[in-house]
Structure 1
């Protein structure tokens, strides 16, 4: 049953990637929406679930929050290291950043993280069905609904960093297959709840960094329009609605 439900996530992810491709003439709106979806998924979906699953404290702070901050710092460190590498190859002119010379490796790394998250989505579906049909249905609804955002974000973040369409499509299909693989894997083992919560906290921090430090600044770089801001708010509101319905 879990694998069958994960096929819905496969189709929804592809639909999100298709939408990202169709609106290239409104790139700033695409990026604004992607940033809002990423903020919503991280803050309204991943972090609450992480706190619930891995909520015990480490030196007075919930473990999930520590990993959330750690994920943010990890993404920042990787981005800075790649930026330094690009600078040594002439991608930067003095202190001025050229947005047309982003590191393709950073885009692939970000997309790979999204693929990894999609695998965990599939595992979450399988683990929920192990707990019961009702729990499985609720988790499946949340996963299938927000996988549209995952597909949208995977294609967008891969192409944003200068990767060609072939690579962006490759990462999109990997993200679409990932929930099916994750759900199928739960036929072989049981996922510890604390480990799942820890991963969600870490990945939530990565998503927040990508949205706040990369996607949204790029969205407003050339088109600082109110419509871009509305797209961002709409993306957050959409995730809030999906999360509320799933509950």
Structure 2
């Protein structure tokens, strides 16, 4: 029963990714919406659940919040290390004469422009890592579905509805994150498919394993910190880079409000 219900999450995730790739001509609106969805997921879904699951304190602070901060700092540190490595690699290439003056390469193509600048500033590894974290989150969602059905049909149905409702945002964010950091469309589609399959796999695996509640809460806190960093430091600034329009801001607010609505209806 749990696996069958998880197929709804599979379809909803694919629908979110399909929507993200169909509106590429409004990229700033997509990014603004994705930032709002991620903010809503972190603040209204992940953190409350993490605090409920891992409520013990370490030196006066809930463990889930400590891991939330650790996740934020870990994402920041990882991006800075990747940026330093890319800068060093670029300096070696320029010194070797692979790029000519005025930002031209050997083929005479100019290395400027918004897309080129974005690809130099971002790293495909960051996008794939973030998408992999989304897949891990979806896997845990599937486990939650399976575990709740073991408790009872009513509990299982409530948890499944909550997962299915916000998996549209998961699929949307997985595809957007992967593409934002310069990955090819086929890689974004592969990560989207992995994210869609993950709840089904998690629901099937729940029959054979049990994850301690405090471990799950710690994971959610850490993952929430990573997501918040990506939303605040990367996605939202990119959304407003060349289109500081009111419509972009409204999309961000709408994304957060949508998650609030989902949490209120399914909570």
Range into which the TM-score falls when normalised by the shorter chain: over 0.9
Whether the aligned pair in 2 keeps the contact of 1:15 and 1:148 (CA below 8 Å) is yes
Q: 1:222 aligns with which of 239, 242, 247?
A: 242
- Equivalent-residue separation in structure 1 for 2:71 and 2:14 (angstroms): 26
1:3 maps onto 2:3 in alignment: yes
1:99 maps onto 2:94 in alignment: no
- Equivalent-residue separation in structure 2 for 1:195 and 1:126 (angstroms): 17
Q: Where do 1:140-151 residues align within 5 Å?
A: 140-151=160-171
Aligned residues: 244
Aligned to 1:33: 33
Whether the aligned pair in 2 keeps the contact of 1:127 and 1:191 (CA below 8 Å) is no
Structure 2 gaps of 5+ residues are: 95-102, 104-115
- Equivalent-residue separation in structure 2 for 1:130 and 1:56 (angstroms): 26
TM-score, length basis structure 2: 0.89
Q: 1:135 aligns with which of 129, 148, 155?
A: 155
- Equivalent-residue separation in structure 1 for 2:214 and 2:9 (angstroms): 24
Aligned to 2:51: 51
Q: In structure 2, the residue corresponding to 1:223 is in which secondary structure?
A: coil
- Equivalent-residue separation in structure 2 for 1:45 and 1:12 (angstroms): 18
- Equivalent-residue separation in structure 1 for 2:74 and 2:146 (angstroms): 28
Q: Which has the larger radius of gyration?
A: 2
TM-score, length basis structure 1: 0.96
Aligned to 1:22: 22
Aligned to 2:220: 200
Question: How far 1:99 moved relative to its partner?
Answer: 2.0
Mean Cα displacement is larger for which, 190-199 or 206-215?
190-199
Q: In structure 2, the residue corresponding to 1:221 is in which secondary structure?
A: coil
Structure 1 gaps of 5+ residues are: none
State the superposition RMSD in angstroms. 1.5
- Equivalent-residue separation in structure 1 for 2:74 and 2:242 (angstroms): 28
Question: How far 1:21 moved relative to its partner?
Answer: 0.6
